[in-house]
Amino acid sequence: MSPFEREAAFLDLLEEAIKSDLTHGKLLRKIRKELLGFSQDRYANLAGMSRRTLSDVEQDKESITLTTLNRAFKPLGLKLGLLPRQTHMMQVLLTNLIQHGESHDHS
């Protein structure tokens, strides 16, 4: 898979997760296995957690803390946050973020 194909697949998976079609755990597992080809041991080491904790994250165990989830996603350049559930509000938010970023790009 080329870097461009990998990035497109990564963005597709993120979109699925944002649409709530994919849990955090399933998202992480798909990225780890399908895009990176990493074992749980290798990815857990990269994320600075035990393989057991990574397994719990991927299985969407209820006891997982936000701190642990953020640690698991940090190697991917991701963090968990709050997003509006309503499509219109999500579109407005993303448009505002893009415009804000563009104004900083031209400064």
Under a CB-based contact definition with an 8 Å cutoff, are residues 33 and 8 in contact? no
76-90 mean pLDDT: 88
Per-domain residue ranges of the chain: 3-81
Q: Which two tokens stand for residue 49?
A: 């957690």
**27-68 residue pLDDT tens:** 999 999 999 999 999 999 999 999 999 999 999 999 999 999
> What is the Rg, in whole angstroms, of the alpha carbon atoms belonging to the chain?
15
Query: With left for phi above 0 and alpha for psi between -120 and 50, is residue 64 left, alpha or beta?
Result: beta
**Domain 3-81 class in CATH:** mainly alpha
Q: Distances in Å between the alpha carbon of 31 and those of 8, 58, 72, 94?
A: 12, 11, 12, 23
